[in-house]
């Protein structure tokens, strides 16, 4: 249990991860930490960086998708409100 506490103490600026942007931020921080760790075996570092980068790219895709869905929903809401005004005498 002491190891878990020590590990969590070393994490910078802990904040809740709720959105794809939060995930992207955490992953970017971890990618930097792994890349800068001179104690990691080079093949382990490469594997870790590849995996973190894969997940980061997916988070970026979801962030873009989330923004697109919000834009579509906003447009549809505006159109619905416009139609309601047109139908009101």
Task: Show contacts of 55-58: CB within 8 Å, 24+ apart.
Answer: 55/23, 55/27, 56/24, 56/27, 56/28, 56/31
Q: How confident is the model at residue 12 (pLDDT cuts 50, 70, 90)?
A: low
| pLDDT per position as a tens digit, 66-78 | 889 999 999 999 9
**23 neighbors 17 (Cβ within 8 angstroms):** yes
**76 neighbors 68 (Cβ within 8 angstroms):** no
Measured between alpha carbons, how far is 31 from 27 in angstroms, rounded to an integer?
6
Domains in the chain: boundaries: 18-87
pTM reported for the whole predicted model:
0.60
Give pLDDT, residue 19.
82
| pLDDT per position as a tens digit, 25-64 | 999 999 999 999 999 999 999 999 999 999 999 888 888 8
């Amino acid at each position: 249990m002491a190891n878990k506490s020590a590990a969590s103490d070393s994490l910078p600026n802990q904040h809740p991860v709720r959105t794809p942007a939060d995930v992207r931020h955490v992953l970017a921080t971890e990618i930097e930490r792994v890349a800068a760790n001179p104690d990691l075996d080079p093949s382990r570092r490469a594997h870790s960086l590849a995996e973190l980068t894969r997940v980061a790219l997916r988070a970026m895709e979801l962030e873009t998708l989330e923004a697109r869905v919000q834009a579509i929903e906003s447009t549809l809401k505006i159109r619905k409100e416009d139609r309601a005004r047109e139908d009101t005498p």
